[in-house]
């Protein structure tokens, strides 16, 4: 039945609308994640990915734990993002070293968050944080 095969190929949305995407390295799994982001979050995901690629030519990408990761070398990451019901949470793994420090605090030393709500992406500030974060030692995850 055409309807069943179509539904089977659609990614499952987990709690908060986060896409369930198989672990993988490279651009393809990240693009699959972004394509599955619900509603307005998909457009923001497309924009985040484009801003990161423009700021860091040759950026490495992966999806791990249903979350896109970005790094300057394979297996060493400086940023990830994840869908929640009302926002996208960007994680800067060395966020306390950024200037200015992103606003979201964490229980993990050094980590800072940026919660992006609909219509609230400051592209210039985000791009500056990406440039700074990519120049710091990354996290091996």
| Residue that is written with structure tokens 């499952």 in the block | 12
What 3-state DSSP class applies to 112? Answer: strand
Reading the block at residue 117, the tokens are 């709500």
Supply the pTM of this predicted model: 0.90
| Tens digit of each residue's pLDDT (9 = 90 or more) over 40-79 | 999 999 999 999 999 999 999 999 999 999 999 888 999 9
Write out the CATH class of domain 22-140: alpha beta
- Maximum C-alpha span of the chain: 55
CA-to-CA distance for 117 and 120, rounded, in angstroms?
A: 5
What 3-state DSSP class applies to 107? Answer: coil
């Amino acid at each position: 039945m055409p309807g069943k095969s179509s539904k089977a190929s659609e990614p499952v949305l987990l709690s908060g609308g986060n896409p369930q995407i198989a672990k993988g390295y490279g651009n393809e799994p990240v693009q699959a994640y972004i394509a599955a982001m619900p509603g307005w979050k998909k457009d923001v995901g497309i924009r985040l990915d484009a801003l990161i690629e423009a700021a860091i030519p040759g950026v490495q990408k992966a999806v791990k734990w249903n979350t896109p990761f970005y790094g300057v070398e394979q297996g060493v990451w400086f940023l990830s993002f994840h869908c929640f019901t009302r926002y996208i949470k960007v994680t800067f793994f060395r966020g306390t070293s950024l200037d200015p420090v992103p606003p979201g605090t964490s229980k993990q030393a050094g980590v800072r968050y940026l919660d992006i709500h609909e219509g609230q992406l400051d592209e210039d500030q985000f791009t500056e944080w990406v440039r700074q974060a990519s120049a710091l030692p990354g996290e091996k995850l």
